[in-house]
């Protein structure tokens, strides 16, 4: 992995240029203040290419029937914003 060390002034002056290098080449930028490293700027991982399939956790857990029972009145009031 390639690392680019730049000072704050250089980063402020040419930020677009460095962000393009970061995005296209996957480089890491070490941001320095008076040549002392203070931060690291790295590209984020690429988003998933496709949609997630439905049912990835099928059979791994079960939902009890009580899950669908109505909430107690005080809890339902909290969700609706009612005050007592």
pLDDT digits (tens, 9 = 90+) for 32-56: 999 999 999 998 887 878 888 888 8
pLDDT surpassing 90 at residue 57:
no
In a domain? residue 70: no
> What's the full length of the chain, in residues?
84
Q: How many angstroms separate the Cα of 63 from the Cα of each of 22, 50, 58?
A: 45, 28, 11
For the entire predicted model, the pTM comes to 0.52
Query: Which of helix, strand or coil describes residue 46?
Result: coil
> 19 is in which domain, residue-wise?
3-41
pLDDT digits (tens, 9 = 90+) for 7-23: 999 999 999 999 888 88
Give the CATH number for residue 36. Answer: 3.40.1620
Spatial separation of the C-alpha atoms in residues 9 and 18, rounded to whole Å: 13
In a domain? residue 19: yes
Tell me which DSSP letter residue 60 carries.
Answer: S
Number of domain units in the chain:
1
pLDDT surpassing 70 at residue 80:
yes
Contact yes or no for 37/28 (Cβ under 8 A): no
SS3 content of the chain, % helix, strand, coil (to 5): 35, 20, 45
């Amino acid at each position: 992995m390639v690392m680019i060390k730049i000072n704050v002034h250089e980063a402020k002056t040419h930020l677009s240029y460095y962000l393009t290098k970061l995005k296209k080449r996957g480089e890491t930028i070490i941001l320095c203040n008076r040549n002392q490293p203070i931060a690291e700027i790295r590209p984020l991982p690429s988003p998933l290419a496709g949609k997630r399939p439905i049912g990835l956790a099928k059979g791994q857990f079960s939902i009890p029937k009580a899950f669908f029972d109505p909430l107690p009145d005080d809890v339902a009031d909290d969700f609706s914003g009612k005050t007592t």
